[in-house]
A and B are shown apart, each in its own frame.
Chain A
């Protein structure tokens, strides 16, 4: 007990610039490092998208079929593994979990720093693959062998190898982060913070880290086998005259990971929406327990749905019955979560800030994404819609809201906590409307291209008789994409200008309840300035009936002496 309390916070103040801002073990600094790296990657992947969308609108204009395939592969892989993961799992989990559970830092700060730097190395490895002969990996972000297992088929040997290595490093990095999030949530909760008093986002990050931990291991082994196929010429997934590997094995391994992974990047996004909804409607989240249990249920279900990616792959067709049932069944817990969030708006007192607009846009777009999933989960319809643009539209309507829109909501919301200043609200609204309208113009028409039978990953559809008339969809979609990408300019400027010149933020600019708003903005190293936060309320005590103030903070800050005066049986958590 003694040792817990006597660690001095002060010595960290003497750290040099490098130790403090570059090789830092402070979870908030690591969160910002993750955030900025992920935003740079997001911009890179968006530019790739701009290239191939321009290409699709006017075929043959800027890309060759080879570079088109490489661009779509890199766009997908970067957006999932180098943007969604570091943004939601890296940045927001790092920022939120220790502050919201009242801890001084993560359970393993050194591991946390290692996690970021391994991620950084994986970024460099991936980035270098753009400059090797043959270009970056062109076999689709799903990496289906034998196309990916044998460089003769694509001519991008080095690019493929670097991509697979970068992937392994990225998984290792996110695993290190995940171990921290799980341990911190379980062990470092402050006094009074029972599991059922955790803010929703901490629950979501905790569940996401668990399902990532459980699903990624087989894939890392699979990537290892695939690397052996590519480099040494083994036949795990390759079929040659002499040896008989199984290409479908990869699809099983990949989607066994792939579907939980979708929820790894989706659930934390819903957590951000919940936080922003509660503080901006001034109401407790409706059905807190239902949301938690529904999330756990969907997390468990997510492990038994992977076959819905493989209905027409040559897998035994009888397997499609259980997979269709589980896939459609997963819509039930998600509808519980969405109904609870929608009812949180009812009778609220809604503040339309940029942060709320992004959360709302994310919520609305995600409803479309979730519902269109039913088309693909109904296996007989999937025969037709599989690998068409319908799939593209569907997953952009799920991933884009849960990753990009929710992250913007989170950035506008926690920016004061991260940098001690506020972002401009009016530019935030310009950013929101451009992004939201641009996104819908880009993604919604693609449903119809899919219904018309337009296959995905086609470089050009104008030479195909039955698709030629739908070229206007690509043109419209490209216009939307250009608007979407152009609308990020106000954000980038707003973000960097606000870091230095934004309006000074007080501790609790949104009058929110959760623990992070008790800390200074930005919080010092070890967060609490020598004080100790303890929890006295449920997480979302907004608009309590008996009081004048419309919120009751979840916790209070007390001095260390008081902690002992109150009795030492209930520790504040080990730091």
Chain B
């Protein structure tokens, strides 16, 4: 049910999921056992007159202290994870000089991915745009710069544990390192109009050499590899 993790930092999300699940399921079972026992043991026919004194069970209020400690554990773990997953990107960009950048523009109802071409610079002649088709190299830092041409969209790649909103009028950034070659789904998770559910794209993680070939001549590469799947939207017009 949980999609396979192919991301370099996905373990933070998966481990937080396990941590929070264990804590919440334990608390839920404990409370349901206590409530269930009370309902059976203290029903009217069994216990015709209530007694106000609680005895030892009133110590259960210290459960709140335990919960407070568990809360601190969870929020610390999650915050450290967040600093790796979202905030870590600035240092990573400096560390990994050889990162790959792709611009993402959400529109009703498709994603445009703008590639910088071989010179790795945007705004030059070899830029090109593919619709609903994101190609990235494996084991490399990928920076996505997101924006939107109309309403708010949200780029969600379940296998990479990536989700970030594409907001009109501002640029947001998202990064990831994919560790496995393959095809993965990309969806939109922010209601953007009647075609929201159709706003699907494809992520293709390829080897580094393959990526170079893709940038060199993407038309030939697409003919060769994924003829049927893509729709090219031509040069993206930055209005």
Residues of A within 8 A of B (CB): 64-66, 68-69, 138-140, 144, 146-147, 153-154, 239, 241, 244-248, 281-284, 286-287, 290, 312-314, 317-318, 320-321, 324-325, 328-329, 331-332, 335-336, 338-340, 342-343, 345-352, 360, 363-364, 367-368, 371-372, 374-375, 377-381, 383-384, 386-388, 448, 451-453, 455-461, 463-466, 470, 542-545, 550
Known: A364-B32, A387-B190. A352 touches B50 (CB 8 A): no
Instruction: Identify which of A287, A339, A363, A381 contacts B13 (C-beta below 8 A).
Output: A381
User: In chain B, what residue has the closest Cβ to A66?
Assistant: B194
Q: Report yes or no: A65 in contact with B185, Cβ–Cβ below 8 A.
A: no
Task: Please name all residues of chain B whose beta carbon is closer than 8 Å to the beta carbon of A386 when the two chains form the complex.
Answer: 154, 163, 189
User: In chain A, what residue has the closest Cβ to B53?
Assistant: A347
Task: Please name all residues of chain B whose beta carbon is closer than 8 Å to the beta carbon of A154 when the two chains form the complex.
Answer: 193-194
Task: Please name all residues of chain A whose beta carbon is closer than 8 Å to the beta carbon of B21 when the two chains form the complex.
Answer: 375
Q: Report yes or no: B196 in contact with A144, Cβ–Cβ below 8 A.
A: no
25 A-B residue contacts at CB 8 Å?
A69-B194, A144-B191, A153-B193, A239-B168, A245-B169, A247-B167, A248-B170, A314-B167, A335-B63, A342-B35, A347-B51, A347-B53, A350-B39, A351-B44, A360-B35, A372-B24, A375-B21, A377-B75, A380-B12, A380-B16, A380-B81, A456-B189, A470-B1, A542-B50, A543-B52
Instruction: Decide if B207 is an interface residue (CB 8 Å cutoff).
Output: no
Assembled-state Cα–Cα distance A374/B74 (Å): 9
Instruction: Decide if B138 is an interface residue (CB 8 Å cutoff).
Output: no
Task: Please name all residues of chain A whose beta carbon is closer than 8 Å to the beta carbon of B161 when the two chains form the complex.
Answer: 383-384
Chain A nearest CB, measured from B28 CB (Å): 6
Assembled-state Cα–Cα distance A338/B190 (Å): 34
Instruction: Identify which of A284, A349, A453, A459 contacts B44 (C-beta below 8 A).
Output: A349
Assembled-state Cα–Cα distance A352/B169 (Å): 58
Q: Lowest 6 CB-CB distances: which A-B pairs, in order?
A: A380-B81, A453-B158, A239-B169, A378-B78, A345-B38, A65-B194
User: In chain A, what residue has the closest Cβ to B153?
Assistant: A147
Known: A383-B13, A388-B189, A543-B49. A146 touches B168 (CB 8 A): yes
Known: A312-B165, A317-B87. A146 touches B47 (CB 8 A): no
Q: Report yes or no: A350 in contact with B42, Cβ–Cβ below 8 A.
A: yes
Task: Please name all residues of chain A whose beta carbon is closer than 8 Å to the beta carbon of B158 when the two chains form the complex.
Answer: 384, 453, 466
Q: Report yes or no: A146 in contact with B151, Cβ–Cβ below 8 A.
A: yes
Instruction: Decide if B58 is an interface residue (CB 8 Å cutoff).
Output: yes
Known: A147-B151, A314-B165. A331 touches B47 (CB 8 A): no
Assembled-state Cα–Cα distance A352/B47 (Å): 13
Q: Report yes or no: B167 in contact with A313, Cβ–Cβ below 8 A.
A: yes
Known: A336-B64, A452-B3. A378 touches B74 (CB 8 A): yes
